[in-house]
Amino acid sequence: MTSSIALSGLNAAQADLSTTSNNIANTSTYGFHASRTEFSDLFTRSPYANSGTESGSGVRVNSVRQSFTQGAVNQTANTLDLALRGQGFFAVSEGAENGDLSYTRAGAFGVNADNYLVNAAGSFVQGYPSNADGSISNEIDMQSIQIPSEYGEPSATTAVDLAVNLPFGNAGFGNQDAVPPTNTFDPADDTTFAASAAVNVWNDEGEAVPAHVYFIQNQSPTATDPSTTYETRMVVGGEVLTTATTAESEINFDEYGTPSTPISSMAFSSTSWSFDLDMTDSGMSDESFEVMSSAHDGERPSGLSGLEIAEDGVVWASYSGQGSIPLGQLAVVNFSNVQGLRQLGDASYAETVESGDAISGRAATNGMGKIESGSLEMSNVDLTSELVNLITAQRNYQASAKALETSNSVTQTIMNIRS
């Protein structure tokens, strides 16, 4: 009997040592909650025995209870590091859609390859969809929070504005072999055109496509006719675009470099492309060929330029050329009995019958903690207390071992009695 009592003490002290060691090992684990081992005494007696003469039967581990007190909050430089000040847990899902939920206060979040907000284990952070003003549009069904790197729809280029300076005299036809050129226009042969200008053109995916506008001098000044005529050609993605008539693609200048006829918009097209080229602001001077301005009407999605997470959990994203856009509101979840939660590791927990159903809500409302961006909740382990507990558990283990040794010695003495 004495040996079993001493053995229960050894087992209890060992459990205490394990709990304390686990606390010490996780001193620097974000969102970790310290545990303590709670014991109960064992007492076995017959209904006919005198309780005043009965001793106990040892000790057992009653429970390992966690402390859900607030850990220290440390500031970081990462917007996606989130700490909860007050009650509640972040909800995370194993899958982007319909995954098993778990709950954590470890808010070291980041973005995965698909732009979803995830924790270090790759679980998806849950929240509610938002309206344009940041209010929740649906507080019943949680969903994974996504932070797109781009916002908006791309659109292809349909109009190009180009202003160039074309030079007077011999410099006006560059490497062109004659006026007009001897050979048919070929973008790969610089003897078939006088000058070229690269322009920006985007396809319907918002991707840049190589494009150039070419200038062919078809008439240079003479004694009888001091005017200069340039024909324009447009090549996009290797395709040579054309206009309905040659005259539509020509620019005519007088002897002073002033357009002799107004420069109108030119409609270039091919089987794949259709553009309006506006060269209204182009001119001719003694200066060398130069592109003075170039613009087009194609659109690309705006890139992410800023991110802010408010204390109520609304994720606000800023995109170039756009205002702040709400991407969702982080959910905060609490339980009637947090001690009933089942530990999963990774500083996360699962709902159980003992914990009660998850009570989901919004941060900073109805008793839920507020969210602090750029911060992380550290472990709530008190290292000094844990070291003292370690010494105490060690002494208890040694004392129980000594009791077991003494019990063994007494038993051996009895065995050595000779009749």
Based on the domain organization, do 167 and 251 belong to the same domain? yes
State which of 248, 266, 296 marks the end of a domain.
Answer: 296
Based on the domain organization, do 196 and 275 belong to the same domain? yes
218 close to 250: Cβ distance less than 8 angstroms: yes
Q: Which pLDDT score, from 0 to 100, does residue 10 have?
A: 84
Higher pLDDT: 48 or 348? It is 348
Based on the domain organization, do 167 and 276 belong to the same domain? yes
Q: Are strands 110-111 and 117-118 parallel, antiparallel or unpaired?
A: antiparallel
Q: Provide the pLDDT confidence category of residue 412 given band limits of 50, 70 and 90.
A: confident
Q: Which pLDDT score, from 0 to 100, does residue 264 have?
A: 87
DSSP-assigned letters across all residues of 367-396: TBPEEEETEEE-----HHHHHHHHHHHHHH
What residue numbers bound the domain in which 36 lies?
Answer: 2-69+380-415
Based on the domain organization, do 342 and 389 belong to the same domain? no
Q: Which pLDDT score, from 0 to 100, does residue 26 have?
A: 95
Average pLDDT over residues 388-403: 84
Separation of alpha carbons 203 and 209, rounded Å: 7
For residue 261, is pLDDT > 70?
yes
Q: Which pLDDT score, from 0 to 100, does residue 54 have?
A: 64
Based on the domain organization, do 306 and 369 belong to the same domain? yes
Average pLDDT over residues 360-370: 90
For residue 98, is pLDDT > 90?
no
Q: Provide the pLDDT confidence category of residue 5 given band limits of 50, 70 and 90.
A: confident
17-55, pLDDT tens digit by residue?
A: 999 999 999 999 999 999 999 888 877 766 666 666 567
Based on the domain organization, do 166 and 271 belong to the same domain? yes
Instruction: Quote the tokens at residue 103.
Output: 């709950």
Based on the domain organization, do 145 and 88 belong to the same domain? yes
Q: Which pLDDT score, from 0 to 100, does residue 48 have?
A: 60
Based on the domain organization, do 367 and 384 belong to the same domain? no
What CATH number is given to the structural domain containing 256? Answer: 2.60.98.20
What is the longest distance spanned by two Cα atoms in the chain? 151
293-346, pLDDT tens digit by residue?
A: 999 999 988 889 999 999 999 999 999 867 789 999 999 999 999 999 999 999
Instruction: Quote the tokens at residue 79.
Output: 């917007």
Based on the domain organization, do 342 and 410 belong to the same domain? no
Q: How many domains does the chain have?
A: 3
Based on the domain organization, do 163 and 292 belong to the same domain? yes
State which of 296, 317, 348 marks the end of a domain.
Answer: 296
Separation of alpha carbons 283 and 256, rounded Å: 10
What's the whole-number average pLDDT of the chain? 89
State which of 296, 316, 348 marks the end of a domain.
Answer: 296
Instruction: Quote the tokens at residue 239.
Output: 């395709």
Based on the domain organization, do 164 and 218 belong to the same domain? yes
Average pLDDT over residues 148-175: 89
177-222, pLDDT tens digit by residue?
A: 999 999 999 999 999 999 999 999 999 988 999 999 999 999 888 8
Based on the domain organization, do 49 and 9 belong to the same domain? yes
Q: Which pLDDT score, from 0 to 100, does residue 45 have?
A: 65
For residue 400, is pLDDT > 80?
no
152 close to 322: Cβ distance less than 8 angstroms: yes
